[in-house]
């Protein structure tokens, strides 16, 4: 078991409250604020309230798949046995809590195999600033066909995309914000010193010889 911080509890409560009126919500929390712990606690509460619910956690990298599995094994003993991975050669499609990469879930007919065991009731998207990609939108569309009442919660530290592709295409409401300045003021994160580097960097003082790049000799 793990004791949640106040803002983590607030985030979960906000998501559950907003799900009463909308289906898809976004949570923006600073790096290091414990997003994985938050959505694992959310999953734990959902399974307590709805023991038969099926949940999917989707991310875009291998590391983000194993992280919730490891955290659940340590801190969420009721959730961990129900989790299964769908990624690469691992295909635990009958699990109650599916954890997989979006690439694996949308290829090779795996999603169809997952849905044979029942519809997905809740979709958790980690690092959700990727959610406007076509693979994510295809996944959401397929899940909604199987369950029009699908609930979605996305978690990210960077809700604004650099390419301008708005997350409003996927999420109806921002349920919770916990920016880095607030996290530092509350003591959840340590303060830091930011260093700036002027760009572009000039390489004009470098000379190339037969052995590769080396600095020009200093003057007298």
Chain segment 35-81, per-residue pLDDT in tens: 999 999 999 999 999 999 999 999 888 888 999 999 999 999 999 99
Q: Check whether 28 has a pLDDT greater than 80.
A: yes
171 touches 22 (CB < 8 A): no
Neighbouring C-beta atoms of residue 67, cutoff 10 Å: 17
- Residue that wins the pLDDT comparison between 196 and 15: 15
Q: Order of strands, edge to edge, in the sheet holding 173-178?
A: 90-91, 83-87, 97-101, 55-59, 122-126, 151-156, 24-29, 173-178
| CA dist., res. 93 & res. 54, Å (int) | 11
pTM of the complete model: 0.82
The pair of structure tokens assigned to 166 is 């708005």
- What pLDDT band is residue 161 in, cutting at 50, 70 and 90? very low
């Amino acid at each position: 078991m793990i004791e949640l911080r106040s803002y983590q509890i607030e985030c979960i409560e906000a998501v559950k409250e907003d799900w009463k009126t909308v289906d898809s919500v976004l949570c923006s929390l600073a790096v290091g604020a414990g997003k994985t712990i938050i959505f694992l606690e959310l999953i734990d509460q959902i399974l307590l309230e709805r023991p038969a619910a099926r949940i999917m956690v989707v991310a875009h990298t291998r590391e983000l798949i194993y992280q919730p599995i490891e955290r659940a094994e340590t801190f969420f003993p009721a959730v961990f046995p129900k989790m299964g991975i769908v990624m690469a050669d691992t295909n635990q499609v009958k699990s109650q809590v599916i954890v997989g990469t979006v690439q694996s879930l949308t290829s090779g007919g795996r999603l169809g195999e997952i849905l044979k065991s029942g519809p997905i009731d809740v979709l958790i998207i980690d690092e959700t600033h990727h959610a406007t990609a076509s693979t994510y939108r295809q996944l959401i569309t397929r899940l909604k066909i199987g369950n029009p009442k699908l609930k979605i919660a996305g978690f990210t530290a960077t809700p604004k995309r650099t390419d301008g592709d708005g997350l409003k295409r996927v999420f109806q409401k921002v349920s919770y914000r916990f920016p880095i300045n607030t996290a530092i003021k509350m003591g959840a994160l340590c303060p830091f010193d930011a260093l700036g580097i002027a760009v572009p960097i000039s390489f004009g003082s470098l000379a190339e010889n037969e052995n590769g790049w080396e600095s020009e000799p200093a003057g007298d």
